């Protein structure tokens, strides 16, 4: 029996997610771990693996758009939206960065941990799903955020800019063709990132980092091609008669926080197959891929909370991830790789904010651990901000351990 084009897109997205989960698990690809290695040990190998994956995906999108094979202008989520809500990227990204550090990993890492038997991450997944659902399917966002987020947003079209894509923004100021600027900006970012990555001995000396960067960057690009290329366009046309088109056949690639909310939405009515989206199957696929690796290598292990504080940290972190991930329109994968591959300004803001939030939390935790009861939260925070050169040295309350 021949499968319909929407079914082929969903099946392809699921298989890509299985591969992503397996590769990320096998190579220890972890964005929070990348920040931790950098902040705590000065090692940037996994950080460059993350950024190189984004560069590879970006290079592919540049080529596919230039050849007319696809356009990511109308993506899900709308990375290139002309409504530049800069505050939601900064606030949401920071919340997500703090949350993922408290909860032991980003959305992708949570799914990887579940596949490896980590029950703590299963609870995190449940909480993230609930808050992502609240943010997208109820009035939760409208009541708490919409009025002041919208009031600070910049309507780019009112300034003659068609989208928040960096080439479109610069075209409005320079008059240079956006296509030319895409290759100039994107090509420079790709080349600089890959050259700097290969110059780092911790990156080039670890095969896992190189494999992760190439494979995961390629899978993100594959998601774009699958949903936005010829098959994806056929799938969209095939369901245009529906009153509510399934998200699974929109132009998109991998992201994990909003899809966790979609998964909860689907589970509330499992008989409604129109709720089975690209994102829902991505969530399932990543955990399955990680589970296959964990079981085949003997690393599957049931893990539970070690203390009350461990439980509280994971719970609070999960809440922040669910809210922050939707607010920033993506996670370390969804914005840090998928979003960055569109050259959207908001994606770069979200990525920077995620790294900032995570690094800030790690430093505060480090001071609290090193000084034990002597370090109040305020003292640790002030010292951390001093370390980051965001406050004058006179405000330091704790000397570096």
Would you kindly state where each structural domain of the chain is located, as residue ranges? 5-395
What are the pLDDT digits (tens) for 161-186? 999 999 999 999 999 999 999 999 99
Q: How confident is residue 394, by pLDDT bands cut at 50, 70 and 90?
A: confident
- Using alpha carbons, list the distances in angstroms from residue 196 to 188, 286, 377: 12, 29, 36
- 245 has pLDDT over 70: no
Nearest C-alpha neighbor of 329 from the set 317, 346, 309, 313: 346
For residue 246, give the DSSP letter: -
For residue 143, give the DSSP letter: I
- Average pLDDT over every residue of 153-157: 95
Q: How confident is residue 277, by pLDDT bands cut at 50, 70 and 90?
A: very high
- Which position has the token pair 């090193």? 370
Nearest C-alpha neighbor of 355 from the set 48, 101, 4, 165: 101
- 298 or 244, which is more confident: 298
What are the pLDDT digits (tens) for 215-230? 999 999 999 999 999 9
Q: How confident is residue 271, by pLDDT bands cut at 50, 70 and 90?
A: confident
Q: What whole-number percentage of the chain has pLDDT above 70?
A: 97
Q: What does residue 83 show for φ and ψ, rounded to 5 degrees?
A: -90, 95
pLDDT, residue 31, reads: 93
- 26 has pLDDT over 80: yes
CA distance linking residue 203 with residue 48, whole number of Å: 7
Q: How confident is residue 295, by pLDDT bands cut at 50, 70 and 90?
A: very high
Non-local CB neighbours of 52 within 8 Å, separated by 6+ positions: 193, 194, 197, 203, 213, 214, 217
- 373 has pLDDT over 80: no
- Using alpha carbons, list the distances in angstroms from residue 41 to 33, 44, 97, 302: 11, 9, 19, 28
The Cα angle at residue 193 between residues 189 and 199, in degrees rounded to 5:
150
What are the pLDDT digits (tens) for 67-114? 999 999 999 999 999 999 999 999 999 999 999 999 999 999 999 999
CA dihedral 210, 8, 229, 160 (to 10 degrees): -100
Q: How confident is residue 239, by pLDDT bands cut at 50, 70 and 90?
A: low
């Amino acid at each position: 029996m021949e499968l319909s084009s929407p079914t082929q897109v969903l099946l392809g997205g699921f298989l890509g997610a299985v591969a992503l989960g397996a590769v990320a698990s096998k190579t220890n690809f972890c964005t929070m771990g990348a920040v931790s290695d950098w902040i705590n040990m000065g090692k940037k190998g996994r950080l460059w693996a993350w950024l190189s994956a984004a560069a590879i995906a970006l290079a592919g999108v540049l080529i596919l758009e230039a050849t007319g094979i696809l356009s990511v202008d109308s993506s899900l989520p709308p990375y290139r939206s002309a409504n530049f809500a800069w505050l939601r990227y900064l606030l949401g990204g920071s919340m997500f960065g703090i949350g993922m550090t408290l909860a032991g990993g980003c959305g992708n890492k949570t799914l990887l941990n579940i596949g490896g038997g980590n029950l703590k991450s299963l609870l995190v997944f449940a909480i993230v799903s609930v808050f992502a659902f609240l943010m997208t399917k109820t009035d939760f966002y409208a009541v708490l955020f919409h009025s002041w987020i919208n009031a600070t947003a910049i309507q780019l079209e009112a300034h003659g800019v068609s989208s928040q894509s960096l080439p479109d923004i610069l075209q409005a100021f320079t008059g240079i063709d956006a296509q030319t600027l895409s290759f100039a900006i994107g090509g420079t970012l790709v080349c600089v990132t890959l050259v700097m990555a290969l110059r780092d001995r911790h990156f080039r000396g670890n095969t896992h980092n190189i494999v992760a960067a190439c494979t995961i960057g390629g899978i993100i690009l594959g998601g774009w091609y699958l949903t936005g290329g010829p098959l994806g366009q056929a799938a969209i046309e095939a369901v245009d008669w529906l009153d509510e088109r399934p998200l699974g056949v929109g132009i998109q690639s991998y992201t994990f926080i909003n899809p966790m909310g979609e998964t909860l939405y689907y589970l509330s009515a499992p008989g409604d197959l129109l709720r089975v989206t690209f994102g829902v199957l991505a969530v399932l696929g990543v955990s399955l891929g990680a589970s296959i690796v964990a079981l085949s290598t003997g690393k599957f292990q049931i893990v539970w909370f070690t203390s009350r504080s461990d439980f509280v940290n994971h719970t609070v972190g999960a809440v922040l991830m669910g809210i922050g991930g939707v607010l920033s329109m993506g996670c370390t994968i969804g914005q840090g790789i998928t979003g960055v591959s569109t050259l959207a300004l908001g994606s770069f803001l979200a990525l920077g904010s995620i790294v900032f939030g995570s690094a800030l939390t790690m430093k505060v935790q480090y001071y609290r651990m090193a000084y034990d009861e002597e370090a109040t939260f305020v003292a640790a925070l002030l010292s951390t901000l001093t370390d980051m050169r965001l406050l004058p040295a006179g405000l330091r309350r704790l000397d570096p351990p």
